[in-house]
Structure 1
Amino acid sequence: MMLREMTTSYGRSPIGYLWEILQPVAGIALLTLVFSVMLASPPIGKSFVLFYTTGIVPFMAYQAINTKVAQSISFSKQLLVYPSVTVFDAIAARFTLNFLTQLLVGFLLFTGVLVFEETRTSMHLPTIFLGVLMLGAFALGLGTLNCFLFGILPGWQRVWAVLNRPMFLVSGILFLFEHIPEPYRSWMWWNPITHIVGQVRRGFYPFYDAAWVSPAYVFIVSLVCMAVGVVFLIRYTLDIINN
């Protein structure tokens, strides 16, 4: 199913899967350049490029993976009529392919920043790895729940797109969580993406404590979304496919 997705999604393009890598890399690089000119002094560290990249890469990865997983039924609807193929096969294939793709995008971007930018930072790989696990769990859990909601409520996909528009501003990408005044800081804490960004950023800035980050909270939210999505998909997948 992963090979089918690669062929179907990228086989029509002249450069195929390579475009899926280059497109987000180029887009994030352009945004980083624009914001680095507008905001030359980062809230932490010496390089705004690194500060912004540690925020935008997890955010864009979450959006890409969640969207792909949420569209699993519509993408594989023809295959799901066969008893041997389940919706969870489709979800697993889409998640694995796109999670690995986003890891490659992040690796290329961070490698470029560390090579060409004077960051004066030291990475802590276990901390970054935990942030990646948090990202994968949340994107998979929320994507599974949205997979059900997209199928059972046709208008939910448009509503979800509207709800996600302000997420860029409330996920701590351009600023530190600690710099947000109350009561907005307490409200922002409930956003799992804020914790993911904080965890990844903590891995690139060893002197950044970010004691407010709670991996347990992100994993609990992810598991709840996953459990609810799985239960309803087991019950309603056939109804979604037939309708």
Structure 2
Amino acid sequence: MLSTTAPQTVSRPFKTSRTIIALILREMATTYGRSALGYLWAIAEPVGGIALLTVIFAVAFHAPPIGDSFPLFYASGILPFMMYFDTSKKTETAIRFSKPLLYYPGVTYIDAILARMILGTLTQILVVTIVLVSIIVIWNLNLILHVPTIGLVLAMAAALALGVGTLNCYLISVFPFWERIWAILNRPMFIVSAIVFLFDSVPEPYRSWLWFNPLIHVTGLMREGVFATYDAHYASPAYVFGISGVCLAAGLLLLGRYHRDIINN
């Protein structure tokens, strides 16, 4: 007797989520090793680097521009910057990292991009949490963090990393020399993103020029979320999300048109 039971099909969203989770686990195994200590080291390494730089700057600058703790002031600037920088670096190399798997019909370039972006974002959220909590405990600071604002900042940094990383994913895949050019262009970003100073202290006309740097808005809002007395009136989340959306749309449009050529090259 023939069975009348229809074969079960798996919806595309479920397939996509399962593929992304598999890619995340694969990257954790290949990049950090198969033990939990490898991933813990991936978190401890940036935490240790930020802690060291915090101590160095704290010794050099005893009085922060805002608040009483320079470690907290510096961390409020460097943490969202590192979240953007590290996550965008992971996203822009997604096709190169997962290229052998993209020959399979069940894995798409969007899956590869999202997997690296999600893993990078989650890792940096852990770094932000560990560093902020450690500074508050070690220096015995009495402050109230505005969690919704900090959450908005992390979303802005992640969106910017996704947009810029996706566009660079195409540019680096088609024009390999762009990776070096982009690295050179990014070197001044640490200085011009208001990490060790306040945007308000920059004189005109340079302040108006710096406003167009989306990371200025990210670090400004982060300081508003950490310091209750600071008002980042100049920060515009819509501007950051707008740039992120334009870069993401351009990257996806170009990858959608040329991803097969990139994979087969």
Q: Report TM bin, short chain.
A: over 0.9
TM-score for both structures, normalised by structure 2: 0.89
Q: Deviations over 1:113-170 (max 9, x none)?
A: 1111144432111111111111111111111111111101110000010000000000
Does the Cα contact within 8 Å between 1:140 and 1:222 map onto a contact in 2? yes
How many residues align structurally? Answer: 243
Does the Cα contact within 8 Å between 2:101 and 2:107 map onto a contact in 1? yes
Structure 1's 127 and 121: CA in aligned 2 closer, same or farther, altered over 3 A? Answer: same
Distance of 2:225 and 2:107 partners within structure 1: 39
Does the Cα contact within 8 Å between 2:167 and 2:252 map onto a contact in 1? yes
Which residue of 45, 65, 75 maps to 2:67?
A: 45
Aligned residue for 2:26?
A: 4
Aligned residue for 2:16?
A: none
Aligned residue for 2:154?
A: 132
Aligned residue for 1:86?
A: 108
Aligned residue for 1:175?
A: 197
Two-structure CA RMSD over aligned residues (Å): 1.2
Q: How does 1:38-117 map to 2 (within 5 A)?
A: 38-117=60-139
Aligned residue for 2:237?
A: 215
Provide the secondary structure at the position in 1 that maps to 2:188.
Answer: helix
Q: In the alignment, is residue 150 of structure 1 matched against residue 150 of structure 2?
A: no
Q: Which runs of 5+ in 2 are unaligned?
A: 1-22
Which residue of 30, 33, 37 maps to 1:15?
A: 37
Provide the secondary structure at the position in 2 that maps to 1:76.
Answer: helix
Does the Cα contact within 8 Å between 2:28 and 2:34 map onto a contact in 1? no
Task: Return the letter of the residue paired with 1:104.
Answer: L
Distance of 1:10 and 1:123 partners within structure 2: 32
Q: Which runs of 5+ in 1 are unaligned?
A: none
Provide the secondary structure at the position in 2 that maps to 1:218.
Answer: helix
Provide the secondary structure at the position in 2 that maps to 1:15.
Answer: helix
Distance of 2:84 and 2:44 partners within structure 1: 17
Higher radius of gyration, 1 or 2:
2
> CA shift at 1:61, angstroms?
1.1
Q: In the alignment, is residue 192 of structure 1 matched against residue 220 of structure 2?
A: no
Does the Cα contact within 8 Å between 1:46 and 1:120 map onto a contact in 2? no
What is the percentage of aligned positions where both structures have the same residue? 54
Does the Cα contact within 8 Å between 1:50 and 1:119 map onto a contact in 2? no
Does the Cα contact within 8 Å between 2:166 and 2:248 map onto a contact in 1? yes
